[in-house]
Amino acid sequence: MQLVERLATVRFQSAGASGKSWPVPLAWRNIVADKQRLLRSIAGIAFAVLLMMVELGFREGFIASMLVSIGQLDGDIMLVSATRYQFGREAPFSRRQLAQAHAVAGVASVRPLYAQRKASVWKNPQTLELVGVQIFGFDPDQPVFLIPEVTAKLDELRQPGTIMVDRRARSNFGDAGSGTQTELSRHAVRVIGTFRLGPDFFTDGNVIMSDRTFFTLFGNGSANAGDLPSPDVGVVKVLPGHRPSDVQRALRAALPTNVAVPTKAELMDQETRFALQVSPVGPIFNIGTLVGFAVGMLISYQILFSDLSDQLSQYATLKAMGYRNGYLIKVVLQQAVFYALLGYVPAWILCYFIFRVVGDLVLIPAGMSVGLSVISIALSLGMCIGSALIAVRRVIAADPAELF
Amino acid sequence: MSAGSAASEAPAVVQVERVNHHYGQGEARNQVLFGNSIEIGPGQLVIMTGPSGSGKTTLLSLIGGLRSVQEGSIRILDRNLTGLARQELVAVRRNLGFIFQAHNLFDSLSAYENIKMAMQLGDRPASAMREQGMAMLQRLGIGHRADYKPRSLSGGQRQRVAVARALVNRPKLVLADEPTASLDKESSNTVVNLLKELTVAEGCTVIMVTHDSRILDVADRIVNMVDGNIVSDVVLRDALFICEFLKTVELFNRLTPAEIANVAERMRRRRYAPGEFVIRQGEIGEEFFLVRSGTAAVTAEAPGEPERQIAVLGTGQVIGEMALFSGEPRNATVRAVEELETFYLSKKDFQEALQFSAGFKDQIRRSYFNRLEHPLHA
């Protein structure tokens, strides 16, 4: 018989034949089969991924902006009021406690930092517009900042009414270089230099001054000689050879409970927690991310579901031929992963540029960090795989008996 | 040797016994198959016909392991499907070839890749796939389209790819549902001839549901279903044999060819070992026999006389028709001398068949009286 001969030939040939043969990449083929549909799908998923990335990026920038000033403090442990709930807000504790802290073994220095953001109103030197700013005051004899520009101008800061301003302040802060004269909380001030910190979500820029100038501006009339006001932060430096955790424990024992003694890292953690949980801003980003995730799941479900529905009889045929549900699930999950990755790449690139433009505009330090890239790819995968697991039920339910 | 005789010698590829099937539950429960039995041997091309809703596709899907057997038993390729879990049925299905009415090819895959999806389930080495897959496509005349997507193929070419996918793993059993419904005459011939060739050359069994009369002449057997019952099961070569010889029997020679065919359709095969009784003198007659092969001895005994042999019967001779219409006991004993193969007809079918004939009563009476002294046709 002709067929038998052919088969025999084929079998003999195959015995000696060699060469590689990969399994049919069904998931990939399904994805790229229709280019227009592929583009639409990628666009939809990229949109959702971008939503999440932007939310997450701003969330990250928001936290970073809150931590910028703490990061510039030259200390290991910070004394803060136990009732205080946000760095930079005025929440003084008794000055006497600074002295108590100083007496604790292992403490090299305790320096006061004064903060004000409520009563501080800056007049834009160009537009005369009033702008809320963050004020930090410190004793030039006991500097607390690691900012080199500030360290270089300690002497000039000693003159009353002199200030240094943030060059990364928002644009409504105005252009204030050295020599600029304007008003801060209705007092005449003169700018003697600038530094770079950047605004946060609550204020448009930072102003640094000596404690004396600070008392003059915000002293509430109590700034009499010898009657120094209460500090908002005590910046503690630990003597070399002492473990900060030991010193922290000793400080906690020595000080009354109205003073908290976090390390710099703990204070940053606390600040981050506050930003994300207590302040209204953090949850907004979380909700935004969640919305992006939900939208993404809907979009990717829609894409996968219609992919599957269009080929239901093909999948049922695979089942009739002897493919197991596991294989079909694998194919659908692979498709989901491909969609997630294909959507992620353009979203990442787009987000990168958005952050550059928006970051420059609002001066929030948002950018495509490694952490953000990793989290958003995990979310993209989770979103697509999650929707795939829902959509795959359709394939599992496909009954090969219906094909006859 | 005919395909029909192979059925009773080689182990059956498909054995269906007393299969019932219901759809739905409770009040909506609806029985679609009623106690069907059928046995199909290797190398047969069986065509299943019947009106829609007759249960033929349900039976086909049960044989194919696409549904779980509810009542009765089904064995295919030496595996009992009864009571198998879904997962086990999947494994059984890998040994079958399925051809559906729609081609069900993945648009995203080339013709060759669609076939490869099937080859991946087979046991051939990956290195042999390309050649063997291409050989199959070439056999179906679409080798030059191997790398085309189904979208760029004609309807006939697509269905041929689907056939290639079903056959590429050399299944011993192929189940097809209207495989030629969407094909032109030429594609249809290619597909059917390939299926026929598989049965002849490889002993592959093909069960095909079809209404396509163009195919009937390649069938070895035609199974007709109505309302969930197999109402006729004709092994075509046997039917031809039966008609040929019934025509020569006086009792039947007034029947029209259609009436004879009707009788032939109802006859079933039965074998007797040497020495085994076919009928015994004095029994009530229940069946009528036509000898297909082998020989049988007819003996009779009268009271007080020794048993005497009256005749030896061979191929084409009939046994036992008289007792069926006279209602009298058998007047002789028939026993197989050598391996005896017969076709038999039940009394009921026998009587129904003969009522078709107008002058049948006269004829029978005449025959009856003529043969009294010559009881060959006991």
If asked whether residues B322 and B189 sit together in one domain, one would say: no
10 Å Cβ neighbour count for B133? 26
Residues on chain B touching A29 (C-beta within 8 angstroms): 106, 108-109, 113
Copy the structure tokens of residue A166: 């943030």
The count of C-alpha atoms lying within 13 angstroms of the C-alpha of A26, restricted to the half-sphere facing its C-beta, is: 23
For residue B366, name the pLDDT band (cuts at 50, 70, 90). low
If asked whether residues A381 and A307 sit together in one domain, one would say: yes
For residue B193, name the pLDDT band (cuts at 50, 70, 90). confident
> In angstroms, what CA-CA distances link B348 with B324, B330, B345?
9, 17, 8
ipTM: 0.73
pLDDT value at position B361?
Answer: 55
Residues on chain A touching B107 (C-beta within 8 angstroms): 33, 311
If asked whether residues A256 and A120 sit together in one domain, one would say: yes
The H or E element spanning position A326 is helix A325-362
Residues on chain A touching B130 (C-beta within 8 angstroms): 19, 21
Structural domain contains residue A275: no
pLDDT (mean) for A66-78: 91
Judged against a pLDDT cut of 70, whether residue B328 lies above it is answered with: yes
If asked whether residues A175 and A300 sit together in one domain, one would say: no
- Indicate which of A317, A334, A335, A395 best probes the interface with B, i.e. most B CBs within 10 Å of its own CB: A317
pLDDT value at position B21?
Answer: 94
Residues 21-80 of A with CB under 8 A from B: 21, 23-24, 26, 29-30, 32-33
If asked whether residues A338 and A398 sit together in one domain, one would say: yes
Read off the pTM. 0.73
Structural domain contains residue B242: no
If asked whether residues B65 and B183 sit together in one domain, one would say: yes
pLDDT value at position B10?
Answer: 58
Compute the mean pLDDT over every residue in chain B, rounded to the nearest whole number.
84
Judged against a pLDDT cut of 80, whether residue A337 lies above it is answered with: yes
If asked whether residues B252 and B295 sit together in one domain, one would say: yes
Q: Rounded distance, CA B71 to CA A149, Å?
A: 91
CA-based end-to-end distance of chain A: 31
pLDDT value at position B53?
Answer: 86
Q: Which of B102, B109, B121 lies nearest to residue A321, judging by beta carbons?
A: B121
**Where does a domain end: B169, B201, B235?**
B235
- Nearest CA-CA partner of B102 in B154, B155, B174, B63: B155
Is the Cβ–Cβ distance between A60 and A364 less than 8 Å?
A: no
If asked whether residues A291 and A352 sit together in one domain, one would say: yes
pLDDT (mean) for B307-322: 86
For residue B7, name the pLDDT band (cuts at 50, 70, 90). very low
Sheet containing B71-76, strands listed edge to edge, beginning at the edge strand earlier in sequence: B30-40, B14-23, B71-76, B79-80
Share of chain B above pLDDT 90, in %: 40
User: Shortest Cα distance from B61 to chain A (angstroms)?
Assistant: 6
pLDDT value at position B200?
Answer: 86
For residue A20, name the pLDDT band (cuts at 50, 70, 90). low
If asked whether residues A225 and A342 sit together in one domain, one would say: no
Structural domain contains residue B241: no
If asked whether residues A241 and A153 sit together in one domain, one would say: yes
Structural domain contains residue A2: no
Match 């229940």 to its residue by tokens. Answer: B286
Q: Which domain holds residue B271?
A: 247-377
If asked whether residues B226 and B253 sit together in one domain, one would say: no
Is the Cβ–Cβ distance between B184 and B157 less than 8 Å?
A: no
Domains in chain B, number? 2
pLDDT (mean) for B14-35: 91
Amino acid at B272: Y
Judged against a pLDDT cut of 60, whether residue B357 lies above it is answered with: no
Copy the structure tokens of residue B151: 């979208």
For residue B238, name the pLDDT band (cuts at 50, 70, 90). confident
Structural domain contains residue A206: yes
Q: Is A400 an 8 Å CB contact of chain B?
A: yes
If asked whether residues B223 and B256 sit together in one domain, one would say: no
For residue A332, name the pLDDT band (cuts at 50, 70, 90). very high
If asked whether residues B215 and B257 sit together in one domain, one would say: no
pLDDT value at position A12?
Answer: 38
If asked whether residues A148 and A219 sit together in one domain, one would say: yes
CATH number for the domain that contains residue B228: 3.40.50.300
Question: How many contiguous H segments (helices) and E segments (strands) does chain A have?
Answer: 13, 11
pLDDT (mean) for A336-347: 96
Q: How do residues A117-162 score in pLDDT, each as one tens digit?
A: 888 899 999 999 999 899 999 999 999 999 999 999 999 999 999 9
Share of chain A above pLDDT 90, in %: 59
**Where does a domain end: B211, B235, B259?**
B235
Judged against a pLDDT cut of 70, whether residue A18 lies above it is answered with: no
> CB under 8 Å to A347, separation ≥6 — which residues?
A45, A46, A47, A49, A50, A53, A376, A380
If asked whether residues B320 and B358 sit together in one domain, one would say: yes
- Nearest CA-CA partner of B239 in B268, B201, B204, B198: B268
Judged against a pLDDT cut of 60, whether residue B378 lies above it is answered with: no
- Nearest CA-CA partner of A208 in A174, A265, A167, A263: A167
- Nearest CA-CA partner of A45 in A314, A285, A384: A384
Structural domain contains residue A10: no
Q: Is A397 an 8 Å CB contact of chain B?
A: no
pLDDT (mean) for B299-319: 86
Structural domain contains residue B140: yes
**Where does a domain end: B200, B235, B270?**
B235
If asked whether residues B255 and B227 sit together in one domain, one would say: no
10 Å Cβ neighbour count for B370? 11
Q: How do residues A185-241 score in pLDDT, each as one tens digit?
A: 989 999 999 999 888 877 888 999 999 999 988 875 554 545 667 888 999 999 999
Q: Rounded distance, CA B173 to CA B177, Å?
A: 13
Structural domain contains residue A15: no
**φ/ψ (deg, to 5) at A148:** -60, -40
pLDDT value at position A58?
Answer: 86
pLDDT value at position B356?
Answer: 57
Contact check, Cβ <8 Å, B106/A314: yes
pLDDT value at position A2?
Answer: 45
Q: How do residues B241-256 score in pLDDT, each as one tens digit?
A: 888 888 877 777 777 7
If asked whether residues B62 and B129 sit together in one domain, one would say: yes
The count of C-alpha atoms lying within 13 angstroms of the C-alpha of A245, restricted to the half-sphere facing its C-beta, is: 0
**Where does a domain end: A262, A290, A321?**
A262
Give the residue from chain B lying closest to A21, CA to CA.
B126
Q: Which domain holds residue A305?
A: 25-65+281-403
Give the residue from chain B lying closest to A314, CA to CA.
B104
Residues on chain B touching A307 (C-beta within 8 angstroms): none
Judged against a pLDDT cut of 80, whether residue B301 lies above it is answered with: yes
Beta-bridge partner residues of B297: B312, B335
pLDDT value at position A384?
Answer: 95
**φ/ψ (deg, to 5) at A286:** -60, -45
Is the Cβ–Cβ distance between B332 and B300 less than 8 Å?
A: yes
Structural domain contains residue A267: no
If asked whether residues B180 and B319 sit together in one domain, one would say: no
> In angstroms, what CA-CA distances link B13 with B10, B35, B257?
9, 19, 33
Q: Note the helical H segments in A221-322.
A: 244-254, 264-273, 281-310, 312-321
Is the Cβ–Cβ distance between A59 and A286 less than 8 Å?
A: yes
Judged against a pLDDT cut of 70, whether residue B145 lies above it is answered with: yes
Q: Which residue has the higher pLDDT, B365 or A291?
A: A291
The H or E element spanning position B266 is helix B257-266
If asked whether residues B40 and B172 sit together in one domain, one would say: yes
Contact check, Cβ <8 Å, A30/B106: yes
Q: Which range among A384-393, B68-77, B256-265 shows the weakest confidence by mean pLDDT?
A: B256-265
- Nearest CA-CA partner of B124 in A400, A7, A323: A7
Contact check, Cβ <8 Å, B117/A404: no
Contact check, Cβ <8 Å, A320/B93: yes
Give the residue from chain B lying closest to A19, CA to CA.
B127
Compute the mean pLDDT over every residue in chain A, rounded to the nearest whole number.
87
pLDDT value at position A364?
Answer: 72
If asked whether residues A185 and A226 sit together in one domain, one would say: yes
Domains in chain A, number? 2
Amino acid at A351: C
If asked whether residues A358 and A326 sit together in one domain, one would say: yes
Match 């029978």 to its residue by tokens. Answer: B364
If asked whether residues A97 and A138 sit together in one domain, one would say: yes
Structural domain contains residue A393: yes
If asked whether residues A340 and A253 sit together in one domain, one would say: no
For residue A366, name the pLDDT band (cuts at 50, 70, 90). confident
For residue A9, name the pLDDT band (cuts at 50, 70, 90). very low
If asked whether residues B128 and B157 sit together in one domain, one would say: yes
Structural domain contains residue A7: no
Amino acid at A187: H
Judged against a pLDDT cut of 90, whether residue A62 lies above it is answered with: no
